[in-house]
């Protein structure tokens, strides 16, 4: 067993006691009640999911295992000579809640290296798809195509005990995660770089290897590490995390579950918003005959978008009620690496103008930017101008969080998810009874 797996097993054994105690001794403790508005309105704020991997406060933003973004970046071992930590160290941290030392981190890097080879048939599947297929469709199909590799499914039908479920789930999740950067880079180079695949490098971490396979020089490796970590987890209620968890709750394996989560991420008001931000900015440039917009131009363009009944991509959030700290972390990278870049200046100008317009418009509860408003400009700067690829980058990152979560779902034996629906007649009856 690898050091990470041994550590995880210890954690699982002690955590199971806590969950069992809550179910046995405190199952009837009331923690919330549901309103008709929540029932119809997307189950906002209803506390009915458990995760210890990240938590989200509307004003503070995300914490990974109780650490803020900067605490996480500072605590984890860094790739020598680089500004951002190993993604592999972050995976260890998300799974166990413990910060690994360099030896433990390098053991995960080596383990992932061994698991990283993508089966040839995955490339055949991708190549059989029409080249103008959206990269998210390709990414999801590649993940699903590998389902035949699932150890969990094989062991389940061999009659494995429930308390052992986490083990092959861990194996599947590590096998899957180790392959995702190669699959993403393959899709990119096949679609947009004349089908010139760059094989993985030797002894590289996930971020370094991804930059290498994309054919983009340093510091894009650091941009990749930062991107994957920042996009990993945002507690469990968002569409991609929830979809992955929901499908996994039927004891579907990691391949089925992650593919479902990626399909959710591909929605334009969830992960696809990062491509929409760049599309929308390009539209603004186009409308102004290619000129960099002024604040007044932008204000008018934002109003035009709202008046046409469309959303301002990259702004608003279902939980957050202030600027997303992931946006700030990405902005800090831009301030260091591309401070004079025109597109970055436009993104900053949108930040100056859009919140006041959204407040005046009066619909969005959160007029502030989320991470999608800031992520695309970084990839554009390093030469990835094909913005329909951006959500795949989000997807590689999101996989880290959701896969860590479904290993724990299995470890704690969470049941199949099955909320109760009601009819409109019932809601109307309860509304009448309430006066
Ligand atoms: N532009 C215009 N209108 C917006 C808006 C925006 N950026 N954000 C919210 N609104 C509107 C909603 O569409 C809704 O309109 P309605 O009353 O006509 O139905 C109203 O404001 C109230 O919405 P809300 O309660 O503030 O937000 P929500 O929880 O329903 O939705 C979100 C949250 C993110 C889907 C929404 O803010 C949005 O569509 N933003 C733009 C797309 C985006 O950036 N998505 C990425 C979010 C982060 C992520 O998942 N990657």
Model pLDDT for residues 341-358, shown as the tens digit of each residue: 999 999 999 999 999 999
206 and 176 inside one domain? yes
pLDDT per residue over 120-152, tens digit each? 999 999 999 999 999 999 999 999 999 999 999
pLDDT of residue 32: 80
pLDDT given at position 52: 98
Q: Which of 222, 233, 372, 409 is catalytic?
A: 372
pLDDT at 289: 85
Q: What is the reported pLDDT for 2? A: 79
- Greatest extent of the chain over all pairs of C-alpha atoms, in Å: 69
pLDDT digit string, tens, across residues 227-274: 999 999 999 999 999 999 999 999 999 999 999 999 999 999 999 999
User: Residues 215, 282: one domain?
Assistant: no
Is residue 206 domain-shared with residue 341, that is, in the same domain? no
The mean per-residue pLDDT over the stretch 160-164 comes to 98
Residue-averaged pLDDT of the chain:
97
What tens digit of pLDDT does each residue of 163-188 get?
Answer: 999 999 999 999 999 999 999 999 99
Cα–ligand 1 centroid distance for 396 (angstroms): 24
CA of 29 to the centre of ligand 1 (A): 33
- The pLDDT value given to residue 44: 96
Choose the catalytic residue: 231, 245, 317, 379.
317
Q: What pLDDT does 33 receive?
A: 85
Q: For residue 310, indicate whether it is catalytic.
A: no
Smallest CA-to-CA distance from 67 within 329, 314, 378, 406 is with 329
Q: Helix or strand or coil: residue 56?
A: strand
Does residue 388 form part of some domain?
no
* Number of folded domains that form the chain: 3
Q: Which of 212, 231, 270, 379 is catalytic?
A: 270
> Could you tell me if 298 and 358 are in contact, meaning their C-beta atoms sit under 8 angstroms apart?
no
User: Taking residues 310-337, what's their average pLDDT?
Assistant: 98
Q: Which atom of ligand 1 is nearest to the CA of 315?
A: 7
Give per-residue pLDDT as tens, 32-41.
Answer: 889 999 999 9
Atom of ligand 1 nearest to the CA of 44: 29
Do 151 and 42 fall within a single domain? no
pTM for this structure?
0.97
Predicted local distance difference test score (pLDDT) of residue 330:
98
pLDDT band at 290 (very low <50, low <70, confident <90, very high): confident
Together in a domain, 115 and 157: yes
Mean pLDDT calculated for residue range 265-285: 97
The pLDDT value given to residue 359: 98
- Averaged pLDDT for residues 392-419: 98
Say whether pLDDT at 105 is over 90.
yes
From ligand 1's centre to the CA of 316, what distance in Å? 5
CATH of the domain at 67: 1.10.580.10
Q: Is residue 389 part of a domain?
A: no
- Domain carrying residue 86: 54-271+402-411
Pocket of ligand 1 (CB under 6 A): 238, 269-271, 273, 306, 311-318, 363-366, 370, 372
Looking at the domain assignment, is residue 242 inside a domain?
A: yes
Q: Give catalytic status of residue 111 as yes or no.
A: no
Mean pLDDT of 37-53: 96
Query: Looking at residue 40, what is its pLDDT?
Result: 95
Centroid of chain to Cα 146: 20
Judgement on whether residues 86 and 219 belong to the same structural domain of the protein:
yes
Least Cα distance to 135 among 397, 402, 390, 314 occurs for 390
For residue 292, the model assigns a pLDDT of: 85
C-alpha 364 to ligand 1 mean position (Å):
6
pLDDT value, residue 23: 93
> Looking at residue 38, what is its pLDDT?
95
396 within domain boundaries: no
CA of 276 to the centre of ligand 1 (A): 13
317 is catalytic: yes
Q: What is the pLDDT of residue 266?
A: 98
Burial 372-400 (b: 16+ CB within 10 A, else e): bbbbbbbbbbbebebbbbbbbbbbbbbbb
pLDDT score, position 158? 98
pLDDT, tens only, 359-375: 999 999 999 999 999 99
Residue 390 lies inside a defined structural domain of this protein? no
The answer on 37 and 132 residing in a single domain is: no
Closest residue by Cα to atom 1, ligand 1, is 311
Reference 399, options 178, 249, 213; nearest CA is 178
pLDDT of residue 31: 86
């Amino acid at each position: 067993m690898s050091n990470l797996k041994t550590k995880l097993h210890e954690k699982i054994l002690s955590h199971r006691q806590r969950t069992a105690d809550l179910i046995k001794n405190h199952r009837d403790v009331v923690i919330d009640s549901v309103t008709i508005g929540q029932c119809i309105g997307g189950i906002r704020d209803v506390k009915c999911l458990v995760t210890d991997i990240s938590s989200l406060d509307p004003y503070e933003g995300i914490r990974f295992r109780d650490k803020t973004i900067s605490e996480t970046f500072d605590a984890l071992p860094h790739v020598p000579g680089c500004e951002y930590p190993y993604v592999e160290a972050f995976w260890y941290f998300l799974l166990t809640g413990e910060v690994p030392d360099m030896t433990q981190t390098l053991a995960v890097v080596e383990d992932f290296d061994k698991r990283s080879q993508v089966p040839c048939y995955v490339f055949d599947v991708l190549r059989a798809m029409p080249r103008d297929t959206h990269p998210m469709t390709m990414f999801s199909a590649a993940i699903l195509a590998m389902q035949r590799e699932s150890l969990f499914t094989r062991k389940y039908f061999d009659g494995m005990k429930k308390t052992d479920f986490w083990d092959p789930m861990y194996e599947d999740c590590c096998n899957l995660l180790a392959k995702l950067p190669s699959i993403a880079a393959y899709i990119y180079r096949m679609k947009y770089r004349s089908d010139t695949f760059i094989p993985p490098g030797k002894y590289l971490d996930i971020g370094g290897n991804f930059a290498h396979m994309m054919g983009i020089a340093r510091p894009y490796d650091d941009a990749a590490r930062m991107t994957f970590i920042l996009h990993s987890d945002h507690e469990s209620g968002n569409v991609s995390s929830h979809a992955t968890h929901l499908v996994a709750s039927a004891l579907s394996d990691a391949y089925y579950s992650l593919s479902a989560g990626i399909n959710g991420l591909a929605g334009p008001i969830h992960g696809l918003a990062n491509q929409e931000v760049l599309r929308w900015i390009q539209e603004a440039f186009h409308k102004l005959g290619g000129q960099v917009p002024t604040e007044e131009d932008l204000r008018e363009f934002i109003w035009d978008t709202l008046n046409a009944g469309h959303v301002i991509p990259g702004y608003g959030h279902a939980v957050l009620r202030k600027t997303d700290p992931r946006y700030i972390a990405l902005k800090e990278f831009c301030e260091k690496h591309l401070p004079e870049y025109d597109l970055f200046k436009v993104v900053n100008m949108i930040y100056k103008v859009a919140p006041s317009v959204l407040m005046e418009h009066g619909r969005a509860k959160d007029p502030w930017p989320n991470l999608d408003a800031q992520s695309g400009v970084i990839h554009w700067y390093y030469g990835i101008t094909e913005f329909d690829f951006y959500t795949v980058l989000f997807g590689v990152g999101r996989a880290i969080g959701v896969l860590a979560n479904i290993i724990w779902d299995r470890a704690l034996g969470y049941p199949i998810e099955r909320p109760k629906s009601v009819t409109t007649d019932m809601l109307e009856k309860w509304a009448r009874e309430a006066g």
